[in-house]
Amino acid sequence: MAHASVSFWLSQVLGPGAGAPASPGAGAEAGSASRPSLDGDATADVCIVGAGFTGLWTAYYLKKAQPSLGVTVLEQRFAGYGASGRNGGWLTNSVTGGREQYVASHGRAGAQAMQSAMTASVHEVIRVAEAEGIDADIALGGELNVARNPAQLARLHDWAEGEAGWTDVDAELLDAGQASARIAVDGTLGGLWQPHCARIQPAKLVRGLASVVERLGVELHENTTVAAIEPRAVGRPARAVTARGNVDADVVVRATEGFTARLPGAHRAWVPLNSSLIVTEPLSDAQWDAIGWANRDTLGDLAHVYMYAQRTADGRIAFGGRGVPYHFGSRFDPDGGTPRVTVRSLRDLLVRFFPVLSGVRVADAWSGVLGVPRDWAATVGLARASGLAWAGGYVGTGVTATNLAGRTLADLVLERYSELTTLPWVGHRVRNWEIEPLRYIAVNGLYKAYGMADRAEDRGRTSTSAIARIADWVSGHK
């Protein structure tokens, strides 16, 4: 199996080898950039750091609202290089970190507003893709999560109960037969299906969006690493500092997600955690007949170390899960190299889900980084005094939330106080992660605990393992 590109999705758009460094040791700024780097000092009304979904949606809505605004985007490698060009392609309405946190902080109405905004954002992304002519293999097939052991089934029932009573969720509890009729996952005991989720090819969306914002007049510079983001100071506005020149702007937006830990002053803000995917060769008609999956639902499970999958437009399965372990000091491989052991364990799980695929070949494998805040809650905001804005910390559910973040940032920057700018995640701040070695011990310890809990549940435990409950409590994410 060759692993030459930073994701299968990007290689479909940019060709084989997309994103691989130009030569060994070429450093961060290399490979696949087609747009000019920053060339000397510049000014802008708004400078956005990072050309993933967050940065590009922000640029899009700013220019749509005010075409005369000067918007510059600075990207260390190329548009879509980060998680946006590598993810599982679930455009889902799931609220990062769960709705309950917002019930606690903003009451039920605040939590409902967040949920409704997420559901609306799924349909907004689909609308814009259509309006702008971006073909991102979008299929609105809903989201199916399956339980494969009794403890998972108990959690599934709790989850279904929790979903009832919220609007814009529309989840349906399925018995084993109904769930298997959608996708024939071996050992399914039940499922929860909800309609507000689309399968997408993420690199097609992010690359399409980059072209659209350029057409709107946004200046997009690739191969331009921002070394520091500085607040407004006496006699000058906020600043993005690069080795190729600085950009001074009324507002500088940090849209760097999993890479944020590399910026000065943000080292402990969001832990960069890896997630990894494999993709199969295209399956035969006979294999698809055995598996079903006619509606293109996205597929997940209720394991603590969960999987996520999609049926691709060209008839493959992309299957993801927990990737490379957390490295001491929040270090990670930006190109997302994926160890054989990770590929093997994802393939083994795929075959456990679909025994008919026992001989299937893995065509590609890759990894990317998520930004994980200490409370697992995403945030968006603008501090007007400093001129610094940010959005991120989406953990594993940013494909839709980035659109909501982009629209919200546009409103904040343009001082349009809307229903978006009062959503509970706006201005949310959380304490930093622990210093090392505590962070290393805690993060890897948590994943060991979740893995142990899954194994105990697979052996027949009928309720959620106590180890997992303690891990949830320690991590603060449930």
Ligand X SMILES: Cc1cc2nc3c(=O)[nH]c(=O)nc-3n(C[C@H](O)[C@H](O)[C@H](O)COP(=O)(O)OP(=O)(O)OC[C@H]3O[C@@H](n4cnc5c(N)ncnc54)[C@H](O)[C@@H]3O)c2cc1C
40/55 Cα distance (integer angstroms): 21
Residue 395: enclosing H or E segment and its boundaries?
Answer: none
x/- track of binding to ligand X for residues 38-77 (CB under 6 A):
-----------xxxxxxx------------------xxxx
225 part of the interface to ligand X, by CB under 6 A: yes
Choices 62-70, 85-93, 341-349, 443-451; region in contact with ligand X by CB under 6 A: 85-93
The least distance separating ligand X from the CB of residue 398, rounded to whole angstroms, comes to 2
* Pick 360 or 399: Cβ nearer ligand X: 399
Cβ 63 vs Cβ 408: under 8 Å: no
The answer, yes or no, to whether the previous bond of 437 is cis (omega within 30 of 0) is yes
Among 251, 277, 372, 388, binds ligand X (CB under 6 A): 277
- Of 265, 266, 244, 277, whose CA–CA distance to 75 is shortest? 244
Token code pair at residue 150 = 């009794």
**Closest separation in Å from C-beta 13 to ligand X:** 14
Instruction: Between 180 and 223, name the residue whose CB sits nearer to ligand X.
Output: 223
The Cα–Cα gap between 10 and 363 comes to 14
Instruction: State phi, psi for 280 to the nearest 5 degrees.
Output: -85, 170
User: From residue 338, how far is each of 2, 6, 368, 439 by CA, in Å?
Assistant: 11, 10, 9, 22
Letter string b/e over residues 50-83, b meaning 16 or more CB atoms within 10 A of that residue's CB: bbbbbbbbbbbbbbeeeeebbbbbbbbbbbbbbb
Q: How far apart are the first and last CA of the chain?
A: 38
Interaction between residue 402 and ligand X (CB under 6 A): yes
Does 465 engage in binding with ligand X (CB under 6 A)?
A: no
- Considering only residues 139, 213, 357, 399, which one is a binding residue for ligand X as defined by CB under 6 A? 399
Task: Quickly count: other Cβ atoms within 10 Å of residue 247's Cβ.
Answer: 28
Indicate whether 11 belongs to the interface with ligand X (CB under 6 A).
Answer: no
- Give the helix/strand (H/E) hosting 276: strand 271-280
Stretch that binds ligand X, among 214-222, 250-258, 416-424, 428-436 (CB under 6 A): 250-258
Nearer to ligand X, 83 or 111 (CB): 83
Strands 90-92 and 197-199: antiparallel
SS3 string, 355-379, reads HHHCCCCEEEEEEEEEEECCCCCCE
At residue 439's C-alpha, the angle toward residues 433 and 443, to 5°, is 105
SS3 307: coil
Stretch that binds ligand X, among 9-17, 82-90, 106-114, 410-418 (CB under 6 A): 82-90
Of 125 and 420, the one with the shorter C-beta distance to ligand X is 125
Binding part of the chain for ligand X, among 343-351, 368-376, 442-450, 460-468 by CB under 6 A, reads 368-376
Q: Which amino acid is at 326?
A: Y
Q: Which stretch binds ligand X (CB under 6 A): 127-135, 348-356, 366-374, 465-473?
A: 366-374
Burial of 339 (0-12, 13-18, 19+ CB in 10 A): middle
Query: Quick one: which segment of 100-108, 154-162, 255-263, 337-345 binds ligand X (CB under 6 A)?
Result: 255-263
**3-class SS of residue 212:** helix
Q: Which is nearer to ligand X, 226 or 382 (CB)?
A: 226
Q: State which residue, 32 or 397, has the beta carbon closest to ligand X.
A: 397
Beta bridge partners of 245: 242
Site string for ligand X, 284-313 (x = CB under 6 A): ------------------------x-----
Stretch that binds ligand X, among 144-152, 185-193, 257-265, 468-476 (CB under 6 A): 257-265
Residues in contact with ligand X, counted by CB under 6 A, come to a total of 44
- Residue 356's CB: how many other CB atoms inside 10 A? 17
Toward ligand X, which CB reaches closer, 81 or 193?
81
Residue 392 touching ligand X (CB under 6 A): yes
Q: Which is nearer to ligand X, 193 or 259 (CB)?
A: 259
What 3-state class would DSSP assign to 196?
coil
Binding marks (x or -) toward ligand X, 116..135, rule CB under 6 A? --------------------
Binding marks (x or -) toward ligand X, 314..353, rule CB under 6 A? ------x---------------------------------
**Rule CB under 6 A: which residues touch ligand X?**
49-55, 74-77, 81-84, 86-90, 92, 225-226, 255-259, 263, 275, 277, 308, 320, 368-370, 392, 394, 396-400, 402
